[in-house]
Amino acid sequence: MKMNVLKGALATTIILSLVAFTNAIEKKKVNIKESTIHWEGEKLTGSHEGTINLKEGFFLMENDELVGGEFIADMTTIDVTDLEGKSKNDLMGHLKSDDFFGVENYETAKFVIKTVAKKGDTYGISGDLTIKGKTNPIAFDLKMDGNTASTNLSVDRTKYNVRYGSNSFFDNLGDKAIYDEFKLAINLKF
């Protein structure tokens, strides 16, 4: 009987010790109203820029260190900010069409963090980006400061079957060619 009590006490002590030293992972939701995604696409004769709204997202934190996360962009909100009137509406319509992001069939784009490496005051992030139903790995640096995270990255649109105007797939485009990579400037509040 004495031995069973000691075994029980030892087991309880081990379990309590493990619980005390186990780090809880905290899910920090991104404030989608205060977060921004700016895009820029370039062609031989100039560039265009605009915004995309974040639909939802969160970071996973352990001891105030980033360990994961997931983000969904609402592709139906693609906006053009460098044009006005008919030109703006025409470009927005084209970007939403199947030539580009096909938002009727692919309303969202998704990024899932797979690995995180602390690099001084930034994090090296790698994960899976899904656009237009195609998923590819991507890596970039993310700066976190308090409740803000920011990054600038380039995405090769042709990996996501967004080939319109690409010299990689079409010949003789001349000054109508659109560069394969587009840039994103992302600022997230949580």
Question: What pTM did the predictor assign?
Answer: 0.85
> Which domains occur in the chain, in start order?
25-189 (2.40.128.110)
Convert the pLDDT of each residue in 9-21 to its tens digit: 555 555 545 444 5
Instruction: Return contacts of 122-126, CB within 8 angstroms, 24+ apart.
Output: 123/66, 125/151
**pLDDT over 70 at 6, yes or no:** no
Convert the pLDDT of each residue in 138-190 to its tens digit: 999 999 999 999 999 999 999 999 999 888 888 888 888 999 999 999 999 99
pLDDT given for residue 176 in this prediction: 86
Please tell me the distance from the alpha carbon of residue 187 to that of residue 189, in angstroms, as a whole number: 7
pLDDT given for residue 11 in this prediction: 53
**pLDDT over 80 at 77, yes or no:** yes
Distance of CA 73 to the CA centre of its chain: 8
Per the rule left: phi > 0, alpha: psi between -120 and 50, beta: everything else, 188 is beta
Mean per-residue pLDDT, 129-138: 98
